[in-house]
A and B are shown apart, each in its own frame.
Chain A
């Protein structure tokens, strides 16, 4: 079990290496960024569906708070799923039946499927927040904006997950994770 806890610690470090950016983003979005800030400008220019906004008679400042909260909540869910999946793989990697040299490579398939599931969950989360009827503010997000939120979310959080599992995967299972076997044996 000591090795599992070590793995969880290393995985947490991997997640934290980029995860702090996510924290910063979520915090900023929940507090409401300055109207003149680059973040607010970006959301106004690239995420919002301006025609809808005009038709409904809203201004950006009136809808921004709800929109920022939606994006913040979406990121919280992204981050939560990332952390859970990273730690799950890191712990589970210790129980993969790697009982002989060369056998870890077989589990690359398992890792690929696991990662694929994670990406599918990310896509589902992005759809739920930006396309479903669950959030009224989502109607104000343009198709391009939704695509950008999904793309950036999936890439960024998959990267965080990858850094986590890169460090957190059990030493003997590293050949199952892309490039993880390039790490030094003592890490």
Chain B
């Protein structure tokens, strides 16, 4: 089975961030192609996911390498083989800072068509530079999207063409699109991209094996727009989100009634809305925090890709929500399938990231003369020494550059996971009446909502801070660092694992409650 996920706009990109972390935790399918669509290429949300995607792929290349470091097939850590184009973001409109007028060649149009455009778009909308996205104007985005062609020579559309060819060849192909219903890029891209895919399917005369799913994010966050210097600017106004959503839902209800584009649609929203602390119109400064409802979209995508998900011929629409109290709990996170418990896998990844970042990577970083002080310890002998020992040169190669690179890559990724979960934990409920009780992060991180880097992970922890690990996951499990130390000394080593893959997998499995 081939799986494709496309995140459209800032929300789409943010949902992909959750999805990638879920894939590292072992909740994803065997294989997944990831792409993003955003006119605002420099957007902070998109850039963050782009960097994360590249880190995931680097780690995967390093730790799923059959010659040196191999986690092997059975390991759930970084289980999903994630691929993407060299540039994972597709810009619908190429060129430097285009306007809608330029995109539709306004000056060359017949007067009556010009008149129609004048009716549909205000002068400032036609003249708005689009390099920072469609600024919550789906009418602009829709025109821009429709003006582009789904050319097979384009690397992005080439993947879609290949996917449809694979479906024609008998392989099952699932494509999932994630976006918001209330923004600019996402709202305009969601139906139009799906339609373009359907059009290619029709053109290639593929009638089976291709399934399209989608996650639509209803309004789930808001922000305060500063009063000064905003006159004449086009930007996403939170006050308009609900009206936009109402209009969009009416549109989708008609679309779904008359045209079966999607096989399964997941709809998620949030009430009361999370309050994003800072407002930025677009560009690299628009770096919104990961929010809990986005995790629902990511899990919806993973459910769609799950082998257990039997897609019927009827169009299915799933709604998702949390418990009715004001508190977000682990129980509010749905499972991907009967065999994949989301809560257990995500908490396992969080524990792994914590212990790797604060406990084991400091021990494994540096030269052999520093690391060898642990060489007599059982965990080191069975997981590191044995698998990084060079028989010819009679030495342990853990201190070598290529191993140190893997150790450092995993440390960076672990910090990303801790930043992601801590940021989501704080930002989802800040300035609202809601509460969240998933993790306890204050002992290893500092949260500053006004700063660009909202979360600062501490460099080192004190003895008493390390003891707080037992409360890291709010599930009363009392899982201690001692349990992990014990587990890594006893967990069975899977066959076919090589090099650092052995240690990483055993440590990951040791973090399972």
Tell me whether B243 is interfacial, beta carbon within 8 Å: no
Q: Which residues of A contact B486 (CB under 8 A)?
A: 3, 94, 170-172
Tell me whether B55 is interfacial, beta carbon within 8 Å: no
Tell me whether B122 is interfacial, beta carbon within 8 Å: no
Interface centre among B374, B481, B489 (most CB of A within 10 A): B489
Q: Which residues of B contact A175 (CB under 8 A)?
A: 376-377
A185 touches B485 (CB 8 A): no
B466 touches A99 (CB 8 A): yes
A99 touches B359 (CB 8 A): yes
Q: Which residues of A contact B481 (CB under 8 A)?
A: 99-100
B485 touches A98 (CB 8 A): yes
Question: A136-175: contact bitstring with B at CB < 8 Å (1 yes, 0 no)?
Answer: 0000000000000000000000000000000000111011
Name the residue on A nearest B383 (C-beta): A185
Q: Which residues of B contact A101 (CB under 8 A)?
A: 359-360, 363, 374, 377, 379-380
B359 touches A100 (CB 8 A): yes
Tell me whether B482 is interfacial, beta carbon within 8 Å: yes
Q: Which residues of B contact A94 (CB under 8 A)?
A: 486
A-B pair count, CB < 8 Å, reads 68
Q: Which residues of B contact A181 (CB under 8 A)?
A: 376-378
Tell me whether A184 is interfacial, beta carbon within 8 Å: yes
Name the residue on A nearest B363 (C-beta): A101
Report the separation of the CA atoms of residues A163 and B383 in the bound assembly, to the nearest whole angstrom. 25
Given the interface pairs A100-B466, A104-B377, A186-B382, the reply to whether A172 lies near B485 with Cβ below 8 Å is yes
A170, A171, A185: the one contacting B386 at CB < 8 Å is: A185
User: In the complex, which residues 34-48 of chain A have their Cβ closer than 8 Å to any Cβ of chain B?
Assistant: none
Q: Which residues of B contact A96 (CB under 8 A)?
A: 482
Report the separation of the CA atoms of residues A184 and B381 in the bound assembly, to the nearest whole angstrom. 7
Tell me whether A102 is interfacial, beta carbon within 8 Å: yes
Given the interface pairs A101-B359, A182-B376, A185-B379, the reply to whether A171 lies near B480 with Cβ below 8 Å is no
Question: B411-427: contact bitstring with A at CB < 8 Å (1 yes, 0 no)?
Answer: 00000000000000000
Tell me whether B393 is interfacial, beta carbon within 8 Å: no
B360, B377, B480: the one contacting A172 at CB < 8 Å is: B377
Interface size class of A (residues with CB under 8 A): 20 to 34
Q: Which residues of A contact B488 (CB under 8 A)?
A: 172
Question: A1-28: contact bitstring with B at CB < 8 Å (1 yes, 0 no)?
Answer: 0010010000000000000000000000
Given the interface pairs A3-B490, A171-B490, the reply to whether A185 lies near B381 with Cβ below 8 Å is yes
User: In the complex, which residues 74-112 of chain A have their Cβ closer than 8 Å to any Cβ of chain B?
Assistant: 94-102, 104
Name the residue on A nearest B490 (C-beta): A3
Report the separation of the CA atoms of residues A98 and B489 in the bound assembly, to the nearest whole angstrom. 12
Q: Which residues of A contact B382 (CB under 8 A)?
A: 185-186
Report the separation of the CA atoms of residues A99 and B481 in the bound assembly, to the nearest whole angstrom. 5
Interface centre among B360, B373, B484, B486 (most CB of A within 10 A): B486
B482 touches A97 (CB 8 A): yes
Q: Which residues of B contact A102 (CB under 8 A)?
A: 363, 373-374, 377
Name the residue on A nearest B480 (C-beta): A99
Shortest Cβ distance from A5 into chain B, in angstroms?
12
User: In the complex, which residues 494-512 of chain B have their Cβ closer than 8 Å to any Cβ of chain A?
Assistant: none
Shortest Cβ distance from B399 into chain A, in angstroms?
15
Report the separation of the CA atoms of residues A98 and B484 in the bound assembly, to the nearest whole angstrom. 10
A99 touches B482 (CB 8 A): yes
Shortest Cβ distance from B323 into chain A, in angstroms?
34
Shortest Cβ distance from B483 into chain A, in angstroms?
9
Shortest Cβ distance from B374 into chain A, in angstroms?
5
- Report which B residues bind A (CB closer than 8 A): 359-360, 363, 373-374, 376-383, 385-386, 466, 469, 480-482, 484-486, 488-490
Q: Can you report 26 A-B residue pairs in the complex whose CB atoms are below 8 A from each other?
A: A98-B482, A99-B469, A99-B481, A99-B485, A101-B360, A101-B363, A102-B363, A102-B374, A104-B377, A170-B486, A171-B378, A171-B486, A172-B379, A172-B489, A174-B377, A174-B378, A175-B376, A181-B377, A184-B381, A185-B378, A185-B379, A185-B380, A185-B381, A185-B385, A185-B386, A185-B489
- Report which A residues bind B (CB closer than 8 A): 3, 6, 94-102, 104, 170-172, 174-175, 181-186
Known A6-B490, A172-B488; 17 more pairs at CB < 8 Å: A3-B486, A94-B486, A98-B482, A99-B482, A99-B484, A99-B485, A101-B359, A101-B360, A101-B374, A102-B373, A102-B374, A171-B379, A172-B486, A181-B378, A183-B378, A185-B379, A185-B380
